[in-house]
Chain A
Amino acid sequence: MNKTASQLIVLGALACSTQLAVADVSDSDKKAAAKMATEVCASCHGPAGRSTAPTFPMLAAQQPAYLETQLKAFRDQTRGDPDAIAYMWGMASQLNDDTIVALADYFGKQTPAPGRAGSAAAITAGKQIFQQGVPSLQIPACETCHGKDAAGIGAIPRLAGQHAGYLLKQMLVIQNVLRTAPVMHGVVKDLSRQQMEAVAAYLASL
């Protein structure tokens, strides 16, 4: 079995398992999550999870299972990229499981921000990588896991409309193994910065 195929099997299993893990959210938890999202999270992630600064990712319409996984990783200090340490280790430290699920549910239901235009050449190059991968480097097409419209599924995050700067930084921290993401380590290992910028520009435009 080649590397790409084995990566996809792992991802598929991951997506299915985390989809099942998303629990029901009580009305009181929904209300508390909406209050926290408005009064706390919005300071960085913007109203309804639509942030303006690329330091802070868009959370609107993000996959709840992915958000749940990440919030728990922040709380448990197992996601160790610089911004996670500086911002989210503290912010998530006192969150309980119910609040995490409710927050994930809240942001998952928000309307995503529209895509933003970027360099036409970068978007074209990025679209090709997203849809076809880089066969010469055995890099699979991103859409295989993240979906044709980059909306993500389960624990695989939505990338469409995300800030290009945030996406680029995540690829870099994963490549440098500052953020643990088993499948993505193999995917981005040989990507050049230019290729990363192209993919990020394309995804931000969606």
Chain B
Amino acid sequence: MTSSDWQPSASLEALRLRASLYQKIRHFFQQRDVLEVETPLLGRAASTDLHLASMAVQADNKFLQTSPEFAMKRLLASGSGAIYQICKAFRCGESGSRHNPEFTMLEWYRPGFDHFDLMDEVALLVGLLLGERTVKKLSYRDAFNGVLNEDPHSCSEQVLVQLAEQWTGYVAASDDNRDTLLDLLMSQVIEPTLGRGELTFIYDYPASQCALAKLSIDAEGVQIAERFELYVDGVELGNGYFELTDGAEQQRRFDRDLQQRADNKRPTVPIDQRLVAALNHGLPDCAGVALGIDRLLMLMAGTDTIREVIAFPADIA
């Protein structure tokens, strides 16, 4: 710790931009009768996702949240109606020009909306903040096919290995699975082309990447996840679902996640049984979405460095 790094890495102008953004968000939801809520950052359970590392707070034997999703669904199951929250989320080891281990999320849920309805609302909000842009909605298959000329749901793993090498120089390991290769191609090759001067939504994700979204069969008879993501100028801005409401299926997914963690030598974590109980009680059909506030600010400020919109990034906190 040197005495010269006490100053913020974000300018006063960026701090003002953040304050004005929060005002605009609150006004947007107030107009639509969506209730602002506050749920704990600390919880007994951690994220079971294979690729997320929840921060543990030893003193309290708890974990910091990677997103407010579980607590907000418990509120929805108690009859809260439409709710939103602006809060901090924490993820170990995620640091880079677009990542800070501690970051700000805007997350909201709309009972009675499906994910396509919610995409429209997201487009409205983001359009208000970034200025009018054409909205494009593209299936995962079409986005993939459009750049790489292959169907991501049906092409062989061998094809994915070759595409990965061809486009990124990545050398596949023998234990790399299909999702690893799809993630590589999406994040390195396809995403940078999305949302250029537009708002691009990608929907109908591979079933294996469903997280907490409902599964269904698409027009081509392929099982897909009712999940969407928003890209603006090549930046991933948000992730949304037509939310899974089946408690038994949620439990099965948690168990599968733990098995995957074990298979990949990742530490096991406690499952959120209270979320499962809430779903078993009854979660209204709803769509939910999480937007990265810092990323949104980066786009509004015209910077590609997250440090410029966060007062004190992890290394100087």
Do A and B belong to a common assembly? Answer: no
Query: A residues near B, CB below 8 A?
Result: none
